[in-house]
Structure 1
């Protein structure tokens, strides 16, 4: 599973996987691609399986036409946290030449499939996050505050305080142990680089092309990083969020999260927030103390819908986020749109007074 050189894998397990899929009445893994079409590739090169369309698209940018890339999750409305892989999905993971996924329990169905497979090379995004940032993202287990990282200021950037209920005073702009690492551009560039190296080991004839594609992908991310730096240069802007999906992106821009910690913890644990936490968040929006609300539309609940309604009633900009690619989008276009939303929301905003940080 490391990036050490290897010859093209023999595929005795692929025949077994194909047989398993046939017996299960499925001819292939449900498909891939942000456009909903079959994966590119001539079928003779390496076969890559990704957990979500996000990682499939990143891998596809590197693979070009030299490898086939498929995504286990192809439905743009599916929630990877709760996704249950079919036996056919698990067989496809086990038969892949390379598996690309998030890790840290986010797409745990991949770990389960790999546990029943042989030595399948992998690129795990949380490992690349740790390598490029020095931080760590552990496997998430729902629990009480303190058991899995309770949304406190994990990175040490605790900037001031805001009145909040239940002892959750204070705010930060750190992403902490957030497993949604595809919102970290340095991480995504590192994932592309690692995919290139793994594909080069599998398919030496096209190694130079894989590496060139990865560099081109990283170069395309650079303007987005520049835009986040420009936001940072203007100061620390306050925001609220319904879930910590985009926190790595907001941390890169050094934005300041005013969301009550108890609200975020309850969403993470799939429980209803306390009345005090919900009221505190609604007050933030009604009083326009934040520049925007980051809203995860893919996991909308009656509570988060109420929060969004409050933002719209107060004319607070809502920045829509999802956990998989919107239909018809690719990663770069998707992230460009989010950064443009962010810049627009902050165009006339006032930075927070965070003590001069």
Structure 2
């Protein structure tokens, strides 16, 4: 029985199994050879194109192996080249942030300089943008707080003028470039805060901005410096006018308050009623003696002009303006904030033109 099982059943089954396995193996080998051959031929063609050979002989295994090695070398070189290119690009962009540099300017005339120097590389947000907004009494909104927090550069007047932005800077944990115009000009708390009336203020701000922006994006340093120079050049008419109007000897003037003080100094104009002006600035009543002294000056026509800050609403100042007009003393109108629809150059030029007319300069 056992002999019958081995001869009639087991052996035939094993034979059939061996035939099946052999057939499948042969099929698999043929498929593999075909695939490898096709892949090999494709790589050879690519290599021929890259190497530039007109004829490639494949009669020897050694040559085939060399060709495959060459193909591998070329492929590896291309891969490394791609990696190197990617690495180089990554390195180049580390100093050139993709997004625009965000700048917050406390006042619009500061933002104007930032836009001029930064060009299309910056996004500028100015906070005090209207003559109706009081920089002293301004209270920051949620949007302003967020803008300051997100900014990479913040510009403000300082010298105790726009303290609200200093509070926002202290509350912000993010690192940023900060330009305090007062400090840039060597001023400190307690000094006259209206430092934008210093003729050199905007040119110095332009240079400081170019330097700070260049630290953020070094690839644009030269462009920032060029635009800063272009902006300073645009202010040349103002510089020339200041030189033209500067008096050879001190010329007495009366003022409603000290907003124009730095420009008066630059023009060699001497303010005769400083105590009166300081009281008006601090929103207190001037001392009776100071009021009487100013009235005497105006009635006696002892000053060349009365410089009035038109944004100050004071009955006492109005009385003095009327008195100056009654005595044919020219009234020069100035403002603390930039008038709507004008830039810094136009703003300053308009005011200096009134000074020019009051002095009788041709």
CA separation of 1:74/1:223 partners in 2, compared to 1, >3 Å: closer, same or farther?
Answer: closer
Task: Map 1:319-330 to 2 at 5 A.
Answer: 319-330=332-343
Task: Tell me the secondary structure at the aligned position of residue 336 of structure 2.
Answer: coil
- Structure that is richer in helix per residue: 2
Alignment pair present for 1:286 and 2:342: no
CA separation of 1:8/1:96 partners in 2, compared to 1, >3 Å: closer, same or farther?
Answer: farther
* TM-score, normalised by the number of residues in structure 1: 0.70
Task: Tell me the secondary structure at the aligned position of residue 149 of structure 2.
Answer: helix
4+ runs of 1 displaced by more than 3 Å?
7-10
Task: Tell me the secondary structure at the aligned position of residue 185 of structure 1.
Answer: coil
Alignment pair present for 1:138 and 2:188: yes
Q: Which runs of no fewer than 5 residues in structure 2 stay unpaired? A: 1-93
In structure 2, the partner of 1:251 is 265
Task: Map 1:1-357 to 2 at 5 A.
Answer: 44-118=99-173, 119-130=175-186, 137-140=187-190, 177-259=191-273, 261-347=274-360
Larger RCO (alpha carbons 8 Å, 6+ apart):
1
Kept in 1: contact 2:104–2:127 (CA 8 A) = yes
CA separation of 1:8/1:94 partners in 2, compared to 1, >3 Å: closer, same or farther?
Answer: farther
* TM-score, normalised by the number of residues in structure 2: 0.69
Q: CA separation in 2, counterparts of 1:201 and 1:348?
A: 45
Shift of 1:8: 6.3
Task: Tell me the secondary structure at the aligned position of residue 303 of structure 2.
Answer: coil
Q: Which runs of no fewer than 5 residues in structure 1 stay unpaired? A: 1-6, 11-42, 131-136, 141-176, 350-357
Shift of 1:348: 6.4
How big is the alpha-carbon RMSD for the aligned residues of Structure 1 and Structure 2? 2.2
Q: CA separation in 2, counterparts of 1:264 and 1:9?
A: 49
CA separation of 1:205/1:325 partners in 2, compared to 1, >3 Å: closer, same or farther?
Answer: same
In structure 2, the partner of 1:21 is none
Kept in 2: contact 1:237–1:346 (CA 8 A) = no
Task: Tell me the secondary structure at the aligned position of residue 113 of structure 1.
Answer: helix
